[in-house]
Chains A and B, each alone.
Chain A
Amino acid sequence: MTALVIAEHDNQVLKPSTLNTLAAALLCDPQVHVLVAGHDCAAVAQAAAQAAGVAKVLCADAPQLADGLAEVVAAQVLALAQAYGHILAPATAFGKNLMPRVAALLDVAQVSDIIHVHGPDTFDRPIYAGNAIATVQSVDPIKVITVRTTGFDPAAATGGAAEVVRVDAVADSGLSSLSGRETTRSERPELTAAKVVVSGGRGLGSKENFEALLVPLADKLGAALGASRAAVDAGYAPNDWQVGQTGKIVAPQLYVAVGISGAIQHLAGMKDSKVIVAINKDEEAPIFGVADYGLVADLFTAVPELVKQL
């Protein structure tokens, strides 16, 4: 059989999450195709064709596929599904929205958020906010999988030379339409792919403090900015910065937690980081239980000092 990776993209750029997913797919099956479903997305298809290990790129290009709506993209995947033994997408908002719809239409289970491939039908996935790891085996003929991107090093973006084949686009579902997007534009690295993440919690006290203290630190470190749920709920940071069980899962080389107490839901999103630094004035804060380097200090003096010394 062959594995099919559903590319995540914005019609112009292939998202890096696709390359992590490709790496997981290659562990399931050496033969991997990539589906690029979008509109005016030829550049994405070309990028996918150059990724190492891709045997073929299928490109469905039509206006109704432009916005990545689950109803029509799921129908597109379904139209191609029977040729595949595995169908994989990243466990990002895109993949999480799409793949269960595909699985249900195929009458198969979905294996969510895999972090390890034991074999073509056996996978590890975290449960209970990562406090336990389940090894699960799928008995379905087609394995529908979402891939936790931090669990797999990305496949190389170059080195491949796959052919790009156009496939017929399915008709619009007529059920849903996109009205608008408010995307946070940023010069910073993407949170889930950043080598360094600076994350702030309720300890910052306000949106103004969050920005005044953490932006210079993130600038100095070339870091992405993240936040705890408490900070997002309080309006200190936008929703898509939330790191945790139900937000973004990150595993950078360096994670700096500032004013974050470390609820288990937050730890679930960052405890696979290589090095964790915690700055918090409460020495009993649970964040110190996972931090490689803990600094018990008032963040309002420690952070500016850190910026100065870096």
Chain B
Amino acid sequence: MKVLVAVKRVVDYNVKVRVKSDGSGIDAAGVKMSMNPFDEIAVEEAVRLKEKGVATEIVAVSCGLAACGETLRTALAMGADRGVLVESEAELQPLAVAKLLKAVVEKEGAQLVILGKQAIDDDSNQTGQMLAALLGWPQATFASKVEIDAAQARVTREVDGGLETIAVKLPAVITTDLRLNEPRYVTLPNIMKAKKKPLDTLKPEELGVDVSPRLKTLKVAEPPKRGAGVKVPDVATLVARLKTEAKVI
């Protein structure tokens, strides 16, 4: 079974972003970029499926600037077999990415797509669900455990009340939650090997996809700041101030 994983290049999760003073966006100049953490979990899960003999080939796909090629190299170093970069200078919103991924899935004949549940930059949590809808496939989102057999995937999902297990027919789309696995570290030999793995570049036009944005960002602002708090010396003072000043207990 061919498995496709989608990876996004995002501002590293340790970076505290700054809003540009003109309100046009965030200042990403010179900021460390990494693979979206949820997508690392997706790549790891695909690699484990290959190690178990369930997956035969793993194709990693990224949509965006040429620099997303670096993110694909990371996926290849983790164990993906091939990379596909859908290169575009345009702002790609989740619906457009889902359409691009659909075209690649159909071109590749993949039977399973694994993606992160959410990218930590725009925090949309949409692409996997949209891709499943466009393909007419079932979806198993927020996965914390995945078991694949011939015709279906049994997926345990992290939901608000606890956990839920669903069975979805293959082909299907799975999106990863934090506790699905712990992604492996990439080793230097694997980074070197990844440089030799094939990486193809496509353009949205070649895939026949209109990527025009549907949402216009009017401005980006700093969130309201919390006023500076105080340190209290002991528990008694804390209780007193919660009672008399904050009046919350």
Contact = CB atoms under 8 A, between A and B. Distances in A.
Interface of A: 69-71, 74, 92-94, 96-105, 107-113, 122, 126-140, 173-184, 192, 196, 221, 229, 232-233, 238-240, 242, 245-246, 248, 253-254, 264-265, 271, 274-277, 283, 288, 290-297, 302, 305-306, 309-310
B214 A109 contact: yes
B121 A127 contact: yes
B242 A277 contact: yes
B189 interface: no
The 5 closest A-B pairs by CB, nearest first: A109-B214, A100-B129, A175-B138, A104-B130, A104-B133
B162 A104 contact: no
A109 B138 contact: no
A134 B159 contact: no
B196 interface: no
A233 B160 contact: no
B241 interface: yes
Interface stretch (B42-50, B82-90, B200-208, B231-239): B231-239
A19 B141 CA distance: 25
A296 B242 CA distance: 16
Question: By CB atoms of chain B within 10 A, which of A110, A233, A288 has the most?
Answer: A110
A101 to B, nearest CB: 4
A133 B124 contact: no
Given A290-B226, A305-B235, A246 B217 contact: no
Given A109-B95, A310-B239, A292 B229 contact: yes
B107 interface: no
Contact of A69 (B93, B166, B232, B239): B166
A128 B121 contact: yes
B13 A265 contact: yes
B169 interface: yes
Contacts, number: 253
Contact of B98 (A70, A104, A108, A292): A104
Given A97-B129, A246-B178, A306-B238, A293 B229 contact: yes
B185 to A, nearest CB: 17
Interface of B: 11, 13, 16-17, 19, 26, 38, 93-95, 98, 117-118, 120-134, 137-142, 144, 154, 157-169, 172, 177-179, 213-223, 226-227, 229-232, 234-236, 238-239, 241-242, 246, 248-249
20 contacts: A70-B132, A70-B141, A92-B160, A97-B141, A98-B129, A103-B126, A109-B213, A113-B125, A132-B222, A173-B138, A179-B166, A181-B162, A182-B164, A240-B161, A253-B248, A265-B13, A293-B231, A294-B229, A309-B239, A310-B239
Contacts of B125: 96, 100, 112-113
B241 A293 contact: yes
Given A100-B125, A130-B223, 14 more contacts: A70-B141, A97-B129, A103-B95, A105-B133, A113-B125, A133-B220, A178-B165, A178-B166, A181-B164, A181-B165, A183-B161, A233-B178, A240-B162, A275-B242
Contacts of B219: 134-135
B229 A100 contact: no
A90 to B, nearest CB: 10
A80 to B, nearest CB: 16
A237 B184 CA distance: 24
Contacts of A184: 161-162
A100 B95 CA distance: 9
Contacts of B166: 69, 176-179
Contact of B218 (A99, A135, A265): A135
B160 A138 contact: no
B232 A295 contact: yes
A127 B125 CA distance: 11
